Structure 1
Amino acid sequence: MRIDVITLFPDFVRQCSEVGVVGRAQQRGLLQVETWNPRDYATDNYRTVDGRTFGGGPGMVMMIEPLRALFGALREASDEPTHVVYLSPQGARLTQDRVRKLAARPRVALLCGRYEGVDERLLAHEVDEEISVGDYVLSGGELAAAVVIDAVGRLQDGALNDAQSAQQDSFSDGLLDCPHYTRPETDALGTVPPVLLGGDHAAIRRWRRKQSLGRTWLRRPDLLAQCVLDEESRALLDEFRREHFAAQHLEAGTGPQD
């Protein structure tokens, strides 16, 4: 897969994409990340890429001409169809499902806005999709692009040393991930749940599923409301709820009958 990033700060994007799982994916030839600087396509001596907004008001807007020339060169660089994403607070929320769809494309271009954004006419003609990484405002799209690159890059076949890691991540099946533990088995902060030490893989799978369901119920009930649960999952969730309420009563020094 190839990801082209249109940014005024290409060094930042390159540095972010050279480390960790994404860096390894590039080293293995699974992912290619290229950067494009709009200033390289400006026509004046000052390499101007922004102008004052019509109608007045503070801030500048990224201009059409440099970006139009850039997109022309970008598309000539490869014959593969390019899905263009503008990273914007006005976009659809980035979800794991949207990440999977992007990861399945052969080529994606990420447009990083700056200042007050990009001229709307350019967006209307060049952009296929707008994506937001959250309901907050960043100084530019570069951090959002780094998030998308990381989320998409780790889903490329062979990027992770263990392919099952991606299948067990939070949101992979619409739920949050279960708790994880490592050595030592016993510490001043607590002990590892015995079920994880017994070697009973069926019991471990059941415990992890119950914890995943329970965490989602406690922390993200909105996600749980969107899931279609099978009979086993409903039973595990009911079991988690009973244990949770019993623990609350015990901590409060009361019983369910109180």
Structure 2
Amino acid sequence: MSEGVTPARPHHKLTDDGRRLREVLSYSRRGARFTPRQAEAWHAHQAAWVIPDEAVDRPGFAFSSWFDREAPLVVEIGSGVGDATAALAAARPDVNVLAFEVWRPGVADTLWKLSEAGAENVRLIGVDAQWAIEHLVEPEQLAEVWTFFPDPWHKKKHHKRRLVGPAFSHVLAQRLVEGGLWRLATDWADYAEQMVEVLDAEPLLTGGVVDRWDARPVTRFERKGTEAGRSITDLTYRRSSASSSST
């Protein structure tokens, strides 16, 4: 987003002696084998709706250039198998949706669901969302962000890998337009408490726990949480001020 060399993507950083640098990431990559339906959807729609990971390394890269029009930009962090992505994008054809998902079969499932829903206003990419939002998204560019059921990293020693932490939350708040929304949901009570603690402390955001967003469909992850006896917490925070410089 700024002039000069774009910082290296996660997994591309090396130590001084050429070894791959281990980084703390908010996700883990799983297997990439396709089912027949996933393979069919991938071959039919990947070229039009999936941004190649390597594209972000090109000078002058901009997410807006991958959409067919100018429209408010909504980001989904962790689109999974696309249940929410397809339903929400189809219901809001006036926005462009940029969905981050590192699990390739999930991306293929999403492509199939987008096609079934007739939602052509979505682009998907598999790079690290935290890195991309910090380095490739301009301040005050995002109309809305969706983060539904992010990896809870429920073991205490792994809490540092949780997506919603002070540093990233400040970066994301800066990328929201004034009045822009960050919608979140989780089925882990301690993660909900952490979200409230972190986001309440962010001076650019106001909000808190809210009633369930009616537009959000019940996803596979939500059903699993409910079946396991966990309560669902929805949160919404609004960007309250445009008076902040970028990081």
Q: Give the TM-score normalised by the residue count of structure 2.
A: 0.30
Asked which structure has the greater CA Rg, the reply is: 1
Comparing both structures, which one devotes a greater share of its residues to helix?
A: 1
